[in-house]
Structure 1
Amino acid sequence: MDKKPTICNETTFNKVYKMHGKAIWRFIYFKCGDEAQAEDLVQEAFIKLWKNCAKVPVEKAKSFLYTITNNAFLNEVAHKKVVLKHAKHQPDKVENQSPQFLLEEKQYREKLQNAIANLTEAQRTAFLLNRIEGKKYKEIAEILDISVKAVEKRMSLALKSLRKEISGI
């Protein structure tokens, strides 16, 4: 019975890592120029080797690792290109806004904050839980230990007060 070493054997895997790890790291570091990225790519390659240990013979491990590392690097480069392409097509919202618009937006935000501050504590709590936290009336009722009708009433009064104070904008 000829027992060939397999990558699934921890000792064999460690030998492959010690034998090829640094060389693969240098190979990919020269391509990407980033030590951390090279380290991540090499680690991912060895993880894939471990997951596929039954399929990869020891004599093919080196080739497998180089191929996986190189492909992962190329995938990252391709992904960055896609991200940059989409970023180029997105209009810069800040640069397209006039100073007048920015001033009006700031004034509106201040007016809204003052209007929220002028609500009663009960109304403000219900309003912020609903509109900022995204809670449903039933959830707010449970949190505040009140009925759903009470939450509805607080929200109704809060919205009425906010509309009155912010009118004209």
Structure 2
Amino acid sequence: MTNLSLLGLCEENNFNRFFKNQVKALRNYMYYKFGNAEQAEDVTQEAFIKLWENCEKVPLEKAKSYLYTIANNTSLNQIAHQKVVLEYAKAAPKQDKTFESPDFHMEEEEFKTKLQKAIANLNEGQRTCFLMHRIDGKKYSEIADALGISVKAVEKRMHLALIELRKEFDYFK
């Protein structure tokens, strides 16, 4: 048994080591899964807070699984809340907003928005594979191991993601 497993997560140094080992992977996973960087950061922090609050109840072997479960459930709850907010926003009167900026800045912002929307519109599997490959630089075999699927499934998801993105940006062919 390692020193970490003997003392458990409630020991501050052990928790800090666990945090440093897991925070980036969890944050990236949440971003890839739900497509929102701020939400991913918030959910990651909240998951670690809940893990710390329940460190006595969570065995070290199950800490990573507990962390990902809490993060996933928190994100799903936030999405449900966002749906309620959007329904309310639809009922509220729209306000006219005008932004004045140089053409280049405006085009750049439009492109970023269109790209983020196109990535967000990919299904969860395609988006996760695409971002893990393009942002994290992971190989298909690493993605397959992380997601528990075959390399062929990763290839198929990447292929379909690229087809969908090319539809949105037809001038990149």
TM-score scaled to structure 2, two decimals? Answer: 0.48
Greater relative CO (CA pairs within 8 A, separation 6+): 2
Which is greater in Rg? 1
